[in-house]
Amino acid sequence: MVLSYTIIEAQGLSYGVIIGTDASTMKMKNVPVDIEYTSMYAPLLGFNINGFVSYKSKSFWGISLEPGFIRKGGVQLFDYMNSHYMDIHYKVKNEFNSLELPVLFDIYLNRKLYVSAGLEFEYRLSEKAIMTDQVTWNDQSVFVAKALGNNILADNILPDNNNRLSYSGLVGLHYNINSRFDLGLRYGIGFKELIHVVWLDSYGYFGGESNVYNNYLQLILKVRLN
């Protein structure tokens, strides 16, 4: 047992757990120019719980694997006209629960600071859309499926169930508090679309296509157990 521990220390291996809080949102790209909106999504708070195994070389670099669970999504803003032709503004909270595996390359700037960059692979376990009675703060917010007939419960709110695998780019800056704890700030950028939107007008004519991506900002605490 002592010999095994000595070998691990000599190789620069460490392991432990990561807990974090995440502010995520969804970003639509390639929006048709005739779709008038100023903001379509707002951030949603989530969390992540991961394990990690890290290797630090005797030089300035290292690698990390961080399998775990993450909850993220976004708040979808929409509006419609009621029977009295009054503007109604509501929110839909979109939550996604996923297994994730960040694979990171670490660069150590000094004994306390290091940066990480790599890919995060995800498999979405479940999704949920909750319509709330909270009004939006933006009178020009637009519902994604508005051009599809104002169907608030349309499938376009959530990703296709057959499209559960995704991947993101992940970059972060970390500070080594002591031999046990690290504090980190990360940003994840979705590389694969979460939702594909086809825009149709009230007559059913094609108006363009857009893709929705999930991005997030993450504050983490890394706890070493060895």
Domain CATH for 62? 2.40.160.20
For residue 115, being part of any structural domain is answered with yes
For residue 1, being part of any structural domain is answered with no
For residue 154, being part of any structural domain is answered with yes
For residue 199, being part of any structural domain is answered with yes
For residue 96, being part of any structural domain is answered with yes
pLDDT at 2: 43
For residue 133, being part of any structural domain is answered with yes
pLDDT at 77: 74
Provide the residue range defining the domain that includes 21.
Answer: 14-224
For residue 110, being part of any structural domain is answered with yes
Would residue 33 be called left, alpha or beta, if left means φ above 0 and alpha means ψ between -120 and 50 degrees? alpha
Phi, psi (rounded to 5 degrees) for 5: -65, -40
Number of domains, the chain: 1
pLDDT at 202: 67
Give every residue of the chain whose pLDDT is below 70, as ranges: 1-11, 34-39, 78-89, 133-157, 201-202
SS3 annotation, 154-178: CHHHCCCCCCCEEEEEEEEEEEECC
Q: What is the pTM of this model?
A: 0.80
**Locate tokens 């220390």: which residue?**
9
pLDDT at 172: 98
Cβ(78)–Cβ(140) below 8 Å: no
